[in-house]
Structure 1
Amino acid sequence: MHGLPLYQRHDQAFCSQYANVEQAAASQGRVLVGAPGTVTEHHRGNAVYYYRQFMNAEGKRQQESLGGPKGDPAADERVAVVMAQIEQSKDLISRIRELAKLGFQIADNKTYATMAVLHNYGLFEAGAVLVGSHAYAVLLNSLGIKALAYETEDIDIARARQLALQGVPSGGLLEILKETGIDFVPVPGFNRGDPSTSFKQAGRTRFHVDLLVPSKDNTFPTVAVPELGAHASGMPYLAYLIGQSHMGTLISRHGAVPVRVPDPARFAIHKILVSRLRTNMLVKSQKDMQQACVMLAMLGEHRSGDIELACSNLPRSARPMARRALPDVRTMLEAHEGALFEFEESIGA
């Protein structure tokens, strides 16, 4: 199978449709969490109060109070804003359904709700970066290509330095995550007494959010993240990965939300490094290599110079690891000679 192309390009007309969705998503400001729903009115004695009724990330009916009473200028204005958001979200969803039929990557509803609350608190604007397989899906869409997707229940959020945030609740990141309507709980540390660096949905589900920061070496330390009232796991070469990032768009059947993702070439190179670090995790290592080579194939064939630039910024200590991965890269890129040549030249093979 390695002699087959790793990706297909979307038609330009479809890429234009996606670009229109991205533009509309960026104009939303605060996004609705869950399905758009409707605005309803409830009587309390002689007064009428407003609520937004919607399906949450787990497919359960939920109500959000919009205040009141009806006739109060502030309450009526707030309702008008929400109704406009609902209409905008419904329009986005109708366009996203068409993109899903065309093979664009669609996130699940729980991931969308999680990204929505993080966006609403300004994490991505402040510099937090979505990494991992969900970032890969966003990058595939933005690059206009179709490739094998990987279902994952992991959400990885990284930050390089302290985020300038306002309005973070007293409960920190955990309280923010609970605004999704999902019952998140801290995951106990590896050693007894270690602070949690991950939050998972309560119960048997494996859906969870990991917080990551750069490690100064090849170790995985636990680091305090004071602005979020949380701790994070250190990851080698993460500073390289998130040293260049840009805003993208995560799309789902509940809407679209702006997120920050890494530069695609750095994403590819970092995935290769991570595949070498995960020597005892064969399945994840293979997934990392597959995602890396899809990115390399597209960039080498349609964005010449991106791989070379990303490799020029690679830490010196990482170059031997990248070279050791060459046999696997050569096998994966068998059908993409131009991309392989640029990668080999860029790492000095």
Structure 2
Amino acid sequence: MDGLPLYQRHDQAFSSQYANIEQASAAQERVLVGAPGTIIEHKRGDAVYYARQFMNAEGKRQQESLGGPKGDPVADELVTTVQGQIEETKDLIGRIRELAKLGFQIADNKTYATMAVLYNHGLFQADGVLVGSHAYAVLLNSLGIMALAYETEDIDIARARQLALRGVPSGGLLEILKETGIDFVPVPGFNRGDPSTSFKQAGRTRFHVDLLVPSKDSTFPTVAVPELGAHASGMPYLAYLLGQSHMGTLLSRHGAVPVRVPDPARFAIHKILVSRLRTNMLVKSQKDIQQACVLLAMLGEHRSGDIELACADFPRSARTLIRRALPDVRRSLDAHDGALAELEEGLGA
């Protein structure tokens, strides 16, 4: 094995600390959006009302009304609950800061706020899945490994089938996203009159959220997502990626939020496939291969059988595309013969 290893394992003690954060994060029924902040009181005439004051995802001071007046049992109980959430989140943040120093993946504040509002509306609990580079970062942390991360302003959310969601606001996904405090706007469709499948932050920024669904063939159709009052881009072979998923935890300097991510072996194999679909995007194709090989290297050496199992369900119609990518995969896995052998055997290559 002449090449350099693609990853390093975190010390077991640090992985255990991450697992404790995951457990605490999963216990949250609702995630605070933005920094934890503090409870303040407003006087209106002779009555006192409550609010949570905090820094939002863009570093601006914001207030969230907690009702009142002071002395009302319902309002006082809510304040007690939110105060508990503030204290728990501050404790999480202290532990997350330590992990950040050790090379764990930390999301930016805007991504965290976006994941928080989606979690609070039950999207991940109803089988919505975070995919793309942010999911990759979550998988690195959960697997206990350190590798090069890729900065991205793309958030990719996918769903395999209609989500059983309750309490979606009349404005649908766009209204949910605006609960972050970020001014999201629809991105115009490629052709005039096409519905939007993406939402971006207004102004000169590339921060955006894309909604994805499986395509029934090799095309990229626009598909209605009625439960979110939105449309999505169809993606070939996405159904394979979404075939197995689990809850993970996205870390940030504002807290931790549970998110659903794909099975790591399926994620890796799907990334190899996507690299061949991006025929005119060389940089992204190389990123796809790199991310895939990092995960394959770890799985091949520490979770034998996962790659083979993921290959068993791989669509036969995509095997030609995968084989075209194998020369690049072989070069990347030069220092990880076991992972490469398991992948080639699973694909019959």
Q: TM-score, normalised by structure 2?
A: 0.99
SS of aligned partner of 2:148: coil
Structure 2: distance between partners of 1:139 and 1:29: 22
Structure 1: distance between partners of 2:277 and 2:217: 12
The structural deviation recorded for 1:323 is 1.3
Give the total of aligned pairs.
Answer: 348
1:43 aligns with: 43
1:300 aligns with: 300
1:111 aligns with: 111
2:276 aligns with: 276
Structure 2: distance between partners of 1:265 and 1:318: 16
The structural deviation recorded for 1:226 is 0.2
1:313 aligns with: 313
2:337 aligns with: 337
Q: Residues 130-141 of structure 1: matches in 2 within 5 Å?
A: 130-141=130-141
The structural deviation recorded for 1:252 is 0.1
The structural deviation recorded for 1:71 is 0.4
The structural deviation recorded for 1:212 is 0.1
The structural deviation recorded for 1:105 is 0.1
Structure 2: distance between partners of 1:146 and 1:105: 8
The structural deviation recorded for 1:38 is 0.1
Q: Which runs of 4+ in 1 moved over 2 A?
A: none
Structure 1: distance between partners of 2:136 and 2:182: 24
Asked if 1:16 is matched to 2:41, the reply is: no
Structure 1: distance between partners of 2:272 and 2:162: 27
- The letter of the residue matching 1:308 is E
Asked if 1:215 is matched to 2:215, the reply is: yes
Range with greater deviation from structure 2 (3-12 or 317-326):
317-326
- The letter of the residue matching 2:109 is N
The structural deviation recorded for 1:318 is 1.0
- The letter of the residue matching 1:128 is G
The structural deviation recorded for 1:77 is 0.3
- The letter of the residue matching 2:270 is H
1:253 aligns with: 253
Q: Deviations over 1:129-181 (max 9, x none)?
A: 00000000000000000000000000000000000000000000000000000
Q: Residues 1-349 of structure 1: matches in 2 within 5 Å?
A: 3-349=3-349
- The letter of the residue matching 2:203 is G
Structure 1: distance between partners of 2:326 and 2:283: 18
Structure 1: distance between partners of 2:36 and 2:281: 40
Structure 1: distance between partners of 2:165 and 2:56: 26
The structural deviation recorded for 1:236 is 0.7
Structure 2: distance between partners of 1:96 and 1:109: 13
Q: Deviations over 1:199-251 (max 9, x none)?
A: 00000000000000000111100000000000000001000001100000000
Q: Flag structure 1 segments of 5+ consecutive residues without an equivalent.
A: none
SS of aligned partner of 1:256: strand
- The letter of the residue matching 1:169 is P
Structure 2: distance between partners of 1:137 and 1:342: 24
Q: Deviations over 1:106-140 (max 9, x none)?
A: 00000000000000000000010000000000000
SS of aligned partner of 2:234: strand
Structure 1: distance between partners of 2:326 and 2:151: 26
The structural deviation recorded for 1:191 is 0.1
Q: Flag structure 2 segments of 5+ consecutive residues without an equivalent.
A: none
Structure 2: distance between partners of 1:17 and 1:287: 29
Structure 2: distance between partners of 1:219 and 1:291: 24
The structural deviation recorded for 1:322 is 1.2
